[in-house]
């Protein structure tokens, strides 16, 4: 594309692509993307000497402005405080891993992994989650016991839906307990943590669904699903939160080749929800009780509920046989938290997008996790297993909700913590201002000064109001003579 005529031709045809999309009323994102390509082509031409760059962030990513960062910091602080309260240490791993470290861990989703260009040296990929790097870290350092949290960005070449908080670069907040312990004690703590965090963040009512991979597998077995179809049928069940049972059944029968009878039996089980009582009933169920696996899972669910009662969190927890979770590596208990109360703002949002607000009772998963006892062993040369259980907080959705809340609130989000502004009432007091602010900084006080020799008092006061700075120290010649500083409370104009 070095040749000008060639570029001009490309611009022409790209222009048509954009026009066509617009006439078809394609999605804004799709149009934006094609417009970006067009601008890039025009920039290559560069004969107007102006637009040399397309000014944007990569698809599916965003900058955080100071206001968003203030909200993000608040959410992180709540989460980290909870993780620390539960005695977790923290680790960090590189943003990229050897490509082979990620190979074979994500099933079909592997196609969403970002690879780095081969510039000579190792083949690298951006991390897809924090769990696989954690397992690699444990195996590499031969760690058999740790309780750690890890908050960092992960990368997925997925179709972004940024208004719903789905990005290609996004944060994960993971808490995991690794080690050989007595059943369900660490698992219960993970659920307690989800409960504490969602309570503290005050996002409205929520529900934590719980199930067990062994119960699912046992159920598939007793319903007559062939062994080699467990995983694929499991991922179809996982779609029950987005699709009706009829459509799920259709997929099982028509696409996955399951018998109608087996599908119907599954359908009966996956409609069940309850608590410890349901686990007890299923242990007596003449079919379910034939599966050793299912029984092991059901007994553990009972135990889990017993511990959750001691933690006083059973009000939010439901044993739900339709919960499957997508990832391959889970081996035991799995769980997922959903907000059940569409907040006013998000309901309005859904309505805008043409969805029925009535339907949007569940605004989607905000936390999830489970037990994965086999993953670390995949990295260990001798296959030594390190049992793990963990939870990941879906922070981007939470950011979205908090941002909408902040927008809707009349209260202003402060982006700095400045306590005092050093101002002057007359000209030629820059030196005095600098001297005073230096003393304040040295005393650990958060302070600002305007970077002008002779700023107007009014503009200094205005700056305070805009930035929400509560106090202003006003220097004047008379005060300097008297050896005092006038302090004014910005909101009330009170002076001392």
- For the segment 93-112, give every residue that binds a copy of itself (CB under 8 A): 93-98, 100-101
The dihedral through the CA atoms of 114, 378, 185, 273 has a sign that is positive
- Applying CB under 8 A, the site for a copy of itself has a residue count of 99
The least CB distance from residue 226 to a copy of itself, in Å, is 26
The least CB distance from residue 16 to a copy of itself, in Å, is 20
Binding mask 289-308 for a copy of itself (x = CB under 8 A): ------------------x-
Look at residues 135, 132, 125, 123 and name the one whose alpha carbon lies nearest to residue 96: 125
The least CB distance from residue 271 to a copy of itself, in Å, is 32
The least CB distance from residue 6 to a copy of itself, in Å, is 18
- For the segment 3-32, give every residue that binds a copy of itself (CB under 8 A): none
The least CB distance from residue 11 to a copy of itself, in Å, is 16
Tell me if 414 sits within 8 A of 468, measured CB to CB: yes
- Nearer of residues 73 and 261 to a copy of itself, judged by Cβ: 73
357 binds a copy of itself per the rule CB under 8 A: no
Q: What backbone torsions phi and psi does residue 209 show, to the nearest 5 degrees?
A: -85, 140
Binding mask 134-153 for a copy of itself (x = CB under 8 A): --xx-xxx----x-x----x
353 binds a copy of itself per the rule CB under 8 A: no
- Nearer of residues 188 and 342 to a copy of itself, judged by Cβ: 188
- For the segment 65-84, give every residue that binds a copy of itself (CB under 8 A): 65-66, 69, 72-73, 84
> DSSP letters along 401-450, please?
HHHHHHHHSSSPPPS----EEEEESSSS-HHHHHHHHHHHHHTT--EEE-
Binding part of the chain for a copy of itself, among 16-24, 265-273, 358-366, 373-381 by CB under 8 A, reads 373-381
For a copy of itself, the binding residue among 246, 286, 451, 492 (CB under 8 A) is 451
Element (H, E) at 198: helix 185-201
- For the segment 41-60, give every residue that binds a copy of itself (CB under 8 A): 43, 50-59
Burial class of 12 by CB neighbour count within 10 A (0 to 12, 13 to 18, 19+): exposed
161 binds a copy of itself per the rule CB under 8 A: no
Pair type for strands 420-424 and 447-449: parallel
117 binds a copy of itself per the rule CB under 8 A: yes
> DSSP letters along 134-192, please?
HHHHHHHTT---EEEEEEEEEE-----BGGGTB-SEEEEEEEEEES--STTHHHHHHHH
351 binds a copy of itself per the rule CB under 8 A: no
Burial class of 204 by CB neighbour count within 10 A (0 to 12, 13 to 18, 19+): middle
CA 315 to CA 301: how far, in whole Å? 15
């Amino acid at each position: 594309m070095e040749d000008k005529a060639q570029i001009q031709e490309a611009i022409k045809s790209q222009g048509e692509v954009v026009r066509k999309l617009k006439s078809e009323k394609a999605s804004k994102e799709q149009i934006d993307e094609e417009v970006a390509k067009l601008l890039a082509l025009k920039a290559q031409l560069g004969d107007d000497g102006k637009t040399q760059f397309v000014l944007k962030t990569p698809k599916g990513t965003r900058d955080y402005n100071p206001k968003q960062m203030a909200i993000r910091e608040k959410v992180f602080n709540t989460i980290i405080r909870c993780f620390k309260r539960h005695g977790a240490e923290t680790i960090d791993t590189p943003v990229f891993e050897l490509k082979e470290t990620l190979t074979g861990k994500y099933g079909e989703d592997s196609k969403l992994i970002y690879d780095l260009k081969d510039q000579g040296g190792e083949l690298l990929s951006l991390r897809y989650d924090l769990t696989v790097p954690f397992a690699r870290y444990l195996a590499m350092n031969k760690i058999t016991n740790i309780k750690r949290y890890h908050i960092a960005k992960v990368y997925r070449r997925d179709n972004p839906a940024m208004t719903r908080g789905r990005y290609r670069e996004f944060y994960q907040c993971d808490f995991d307990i690794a080690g050989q312990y007595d059943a369900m004690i660490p698992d219960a703590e993970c659920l307690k943590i989800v409960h504490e965090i969602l309570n503290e963040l005050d996002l409205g009512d929520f529900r934590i669904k719980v199930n067990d991979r062994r119960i699912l597998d046992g159920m598939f077995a007793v319903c007559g699903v062939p062994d080699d179809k467990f995983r694929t049928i499991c991922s179809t069940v996982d779609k029950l939160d987005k699709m009706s049972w009829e459509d799920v059944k259709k997929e099982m029968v028509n696409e996955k080749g399951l018998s109608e009878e087996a599908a119907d039996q599954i359908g009966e089980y996956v409609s069940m929800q309850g608590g410890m009582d349901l686990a007890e009933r299923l242990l007596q169920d003449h079919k379910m009780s034939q599966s050793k696996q299912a029984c092991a899972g059901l007994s553990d669910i009972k135990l889990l509920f017993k511990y959750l009662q001691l933690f006083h969190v059973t009000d939010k927890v439901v044993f739900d046989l339709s919960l499957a979770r997508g990832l391959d590596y889970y081996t035991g208990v799995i769980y997922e938290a959903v907000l059940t109360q569409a907040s006013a703002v998000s309901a309005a949002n859904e309505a805008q997008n043409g969805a029925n607000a009535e339907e949007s009772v569940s605004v989607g998963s905000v936390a999830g996790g489970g037990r994965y006892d086999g993953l670390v062993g995949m990295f260990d040369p001798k296959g030594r297993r390190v049992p793990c259980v963990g939870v990941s907080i879906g922070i981007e959705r939470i950011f979205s909700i908090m941002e909408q809340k902040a927008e809707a609130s009349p209260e202003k989000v402060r982006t700095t913590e400045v306590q005092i502004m050093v101002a002057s009432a007359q000209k030629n007091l820059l030196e005095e201002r600098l001297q005073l602010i230096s003393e304040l900084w040295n005393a650990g006080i958060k302070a600002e000064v305007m970077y002008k020799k002779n700023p107007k008092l009014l503009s200094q006061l205005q700056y305070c109001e805009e930035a929400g700075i509560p106090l202003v120290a006003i220097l004047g010649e008379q005060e300097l003579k008297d050896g005092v500083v006038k302090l004014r409370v910005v909101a009330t104009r009170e002076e001392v």
